[in-house]
Amino acid sequence: MQHDPHLAECLYDRTAIDALMDQQATRLNARYAQSRPLVLCVMTGALVYAGHLLPRLNFSLDLDYVHASRYGDARTGGQLEWMARPRHAVMDREVLLLDDILDEGVTLHEIAQWLKAAGARSTEIAVLTHKQKSVPQACAPDYPALKTPDRYVYGFGLDVDGLWRNANGIFVAAPT
Ligand SMILES: O=P(O)(O)OC[C@H]1O[C@H](OP(=O)(O)OP(=O)(O)O)[C@H](O)[C@@H]1O
Ligand SMILES: Nc1nc2[nH]cnc2c(=O)[nH]1
C-alpha cells in the first residue's frame, strides 16, 4: 500500500499523540513512583511508542523486550508466535508491558499469562492505542493513550502490509 500523508485518513497527528502520551505518562509516573518495574517492550510494533514514552517516565526501571507476533504482514491475526522471551528474570517483579495496539487482546493476554506463570508479582499493560470493538477482547489495557475505531490502522510503529511503521501519525489503511 502507498502512504501519502496528505491523502490518507489521519486519526491522530503528532500533536494529538504527544498530548495524549503526556497524560498517559503522568498516570504511569504516579503509579510507579515508589517501585522499579521491569518494562517490557513488545517488539516490533511497540518500538516507536516505547521510544517516545520512555523519556517521559521519571521513575527507576529496568528495560527489556519480548518479541511475539500473530499478524505478520497480514491484517488478520493467527496463532501467537514467540521469537524472544525477556532476558531479565521476571520472578517477583512488577512488570509493565508496552505495546502499540490492543485489538482482540490476544497478544497481550498471552504474554501476561506467560509472565504470571513465570512468577511476575504483577503485570500491567500500557498501549499507545486501544481498539474499540463490539465483541469482547481477551484483556483490557490499564493505561491506554489513544482510542481507535475497529478499522486497520498504521503509523507510529504499526505496519500496514509490513510497511509504513515510520508514518508520522495514526492513519486508517485503505482497503486492499
Ligand atoms: O490484540 P491483538 O489482536 O492480539 O493484536 C495486537 C498485536 O498486533 C500487533 O502485533 P503483530 O502481531 O502485528 O506484530 P508486530 O508487533 O511485529 O507488528 C501489535 O503490535 C500487537 O502486539
Ligand atoms: N498495524 C496494525 N496491527 C494490528 N494488530 C492488531 N490490530 C492492528 C491494526 O489495526 N494495525
| CA 34 / ligand 1 centre spacing (Å) | 31
Question: Is the Cβ atom of 69 under 6 angstroms away from ligand 1?
Answer: yes
CA 174 to chain CA centroid, Å, is 22
What residues does each domain of the chain span?
19-148
| CA 71 / ligand 1 centre spacing (Å) | 6
Tell me, what amino acid is at 125?
I
What residue's CA is closest to ligand 1, atom 5?
Answer: 103
CATH number 3.40.50.2020 is the correct assignment for the domain at 19-148: yes
Q: How confident is the model at residue 176 (pLDDT cuts 50, 70, 90)?
A: confident
| CA 22 / ligand 1 centre spacing (Å) | 23
How high is the mean pLDDT of the chain? Answer: 97
Question: Is the Cβ atom of 102 under 6 angstroms away from ligand 1?
Answer: yes
Question: Is the Cβ atom of 45 under 6 angstroms away from ligand 1?
Answer: yes
CA angle 124/114/98 to nearest 5° reads 35
What is the C-alpha separation between 103 and 19, in angstroms, rounded? 22
Question: Is the Cβ atom of 152 under 6 angstroms away from ligand 2?
Answer: yes
Cell numbers representing residue 148 in the block? 481507535
Q: Which ligand is nearest to the CA of 139?
A: 1
Confidence (pTM): 0.98
pLDDT digits (tens, 9 = 90+) for 35-83: 999 999 999 999 999 999 999 999 999 999 999 999 999 999 999 999 9
